[in-house]
Amino acid sequence: MSRRSKPAKRIPLADPVYNSVDVSKFINRIMRRGKKSLAERIFYATLDSIKERTNEDPIEIFQKAMKNATPLLEVKARRIGGSTYQVPIEVKADRGFALSSSWIIDAAKKRGGKSFKDKLTNEIIDASNGTGAACKKREDTHKMAEANKAFAHYRY
């Protein structure tokens, strides 16, 4: 790893349908084994079914779901003098988006249902309403950070 400079941050191209970088990042998270066209089909079908069920703009619901699932604080293990402390730290925007998207996708995978499209649809709608497993995970993360705020002075 180079010590001189940080590598440039690679930002994926915006998706062709909604012209959004966040959508393309989410599609890349869904993708498995390089099958991007399959991931795109799943995501766009999910947005279509969200539009059918809610009669609202699916991109707004998606962005609201991402916002509701994004954590503001997380805990990081820090070893000091032989003991390990869970130190609360603030989450940067990029990391927050990555965490919320992976939590939504993992929660959708664990849901009961027939197809991944249906599971993802339900999870995004629940997350936009502030319920669902991804939002619960965010609340648990915030509770953990709140419980360990006594160790905040070990922040680095």
Please identify which residue in the block is written with the tokens 């099958």. Answer: 35
Domains in the chain and their CATH numbers? 21-154 (1.10.455.10)
Does the pLDDT value for residue 156 go beyond 80? no
pLDDT value for 74? 93
Question: Is the pLDDT score of 100 beyond 90?
Answer: yes
The tens digit of pLDDT for each residue in 108-150 reads 999 888 899 999 999 999 999 999 999 999 999 999 999 988 8
- 73 beta partners: 90
Strands (E) across 63-121 are located at 73-80, 83-90
DSSP 83: E
Q: Is pLDDT of 1 > 70?
A: no
132 exposure class (CB count in 10 Å sphere: 0-12, 13-18, 19+): buried
Burial 40-64, CB ≥16 within 10 A → b, else e: bebbbbbbebbeeeeeeebbebbeb
Which pLDDT value is given to residue 29? 94
pLDDT of residue 151: 85
Per residue in 56-96, pLDDT (tens digit) is 999 999 999 999 999 999 999 999 889 998 999 999 999 99
In this structure, are residues 73 and 61 in contact, taking their beta carbons and an 8 Å threshold? no
